A = this chain, B = another copy of it.
């Protein structure tokens, strides 16, 4: 029953049909200049007729370079797919590269190692790592040292190139915005504690409060989900002096919005809420959410550019791209009003 699918046509089949040597076909394939136009046409015709497509494995084998970009990323329930957000595949393809993905369900040294091995086996030309936890940056140490590498949203330093949004600046702007509206202090619901973004947003928020001479209350612990935001929101609703919340991301802000509403607190009249991320939805929360917009597109583009430069250069090197996030003011924030209860 198991039919042998015939191997696809090779460069030799094309050569035979076109009555030239395999090398000439190879030259046509690689756009070498010194091929007579008529020969080129003849070969092209044979290629089309056979439906020939070059075998990238053979090519990789002989050249030692693979035109595959490896992507290591998370595959966890709480979080959306990261690589599509950054448009990684599209950009790679524009430069003639394939993308092979390795995902992590947990971020441990062992799982990082497994992902790296998986990509190493494919002799990828370079790697993009989108694993925004501190553990990931450590694990980078185990990588083949010369291999081109860019970390998206990872810790800068250690000779590794990074492309990231300035999380601290974003969190600072969000907090300042609330302070400018006259809020005495700003409460914070943080994301998963081992994420880079969580730490950076906390310090941006702390920094803004400190600069205004306010004390930072203890952040509430969330896990990026709306559910955790909801629970934090129920907690916050018990605090009489609550007037402003900075949520670690928009999903949690959504949960907070619901919890406050259930507890009879109006946003923004009683409490102002700011989120972080901004996709297509937050502008249509009820009320539309003031949030910090991250420019994933630019980060993705620069990351790929940096990686390709390293590949062209034949070596890894440190470089740092930082994108400035933008505060998007919508209806979930307003000046404090005198008294709340």
Identify the A interface with B (CB < 8 A).
1-5, 7-8, 53-58, 60-61, 64, 66, 68, 75, 77-78, 80-85, 87, 89-90, 93, 98-103, 105, 117-118, 120-123, 144, 146-147, 225-227, 229-230, 251, 254-255, 257-258, 261, 280-281, 283-286, 288, 313-315
Task: Evaluate contact between A98 and B75: CB separation under 8 angstroms.
Answer: no
Task: Evaluate contact between A99 and B98: CB separation under 8 angstroms.
Answer: no
Task: Evaluate contact between A118 and B93: CB separation under 8 angstroms.
Answer: yes
Report which residue of A84, A102, A103, A120 has the largest number of chain B beta carbons within 10 angstroms of its beta carbon: A84
Cβ-closest chain B residue relative to A74: B84
Residues in B neighbouring A258, C-beta threshold 8 A: 284-286, 288
Q: A251-B280, A254-B285 are in contact. List 17 more A-B contacts (CB 8 A).
A: A2-B314, A7-B64, A8-B123, A53-B120, A55-B61, A56-B57, A56-B123, A81-B82, A81-B85, A84-B103, A98-B100, A99-B100, A100-B101, A227-B284, A254-B281, A257-B286, A258-B284
Task: Evaluate contact between B61 and A281: CB separation under 8 angstroms.
Answer: no
Task: Evaluate contact between A57 and B60: CB separation under 8 angstroms.
Answer: yes
A7 to chain B minimum Cβ distance, whole angstroms, is 6
Task: Evaluate contact between B99 and A226: CB separation under 8 angstroms.
Answer: no
Task: Evaluate contact between A89 and B103: CB separation under 8 angstroms.
Answer: yes
| CA gap between A302 and B206 in the complex, in Å | 47
Residues in B neighbouring A87, C-beta threshold 8 A: 75
Residues in B neighbouring A60, C-beta threshold 8 A: 57
| CA gap between A66 and B60 in the complex, in Å | 13
Task: Evaluate contact between A81 and B78: CB separation under 8 angstroms.
Answer: no
Residues in B neighbouring A5, C-beta threshold 8 A: 146-147, 314-315
Residues in B neighbouring A64, C-beta threshold 8 A: 7
Task: Evaluate contact between A121 and B61: CB separation under 8 angstroms.
Answer: no
| CA gap between A1 and B128 in the complex, in Å | 23
A125 to chain B minimum Cβ distance, whole angstroms, is 10
Cβ-closest chain B residue relative to A85: B81
| CA gap between A5 and B257 in the complex, in Å | 54
Cβ-closest chain B residue relative to A284: B226
A224 to chain B minimum Cβ distance, whole angstroms, is 9
A117 to chain B minimum Cβ distance, whole angstroms, is 6
Which 10 residue pairs across A and B have the least CB separation, nearest first?
A81-B81, A81-B84, A226-B284, A57-B60, A2-B314, A57-B57, A5-B146, A255-B284, A89-B103, A57-B61
A53 to chain B minimum Cβ distance, whole angstroms, is 5
Residues in B neighbouring A75, C-beta threshold 8 A: 84, 87, 89-90
| CA gap between A313 and B5 in the complex, in Å | 11
Among the listed B61, B101, B102, which residue makes an inter-chain contact with A58, where contact means beta carbons less than 8 Å apart? Answer: B61
| CA gap between A98 and B313 in the complex, in Å | 27
Task: Evaluate contact between A283 and B226: CB separation under 8 angstroms.
Answer: yes
Residues in B neighbouring A105, C-beta threshold 8 A: 90
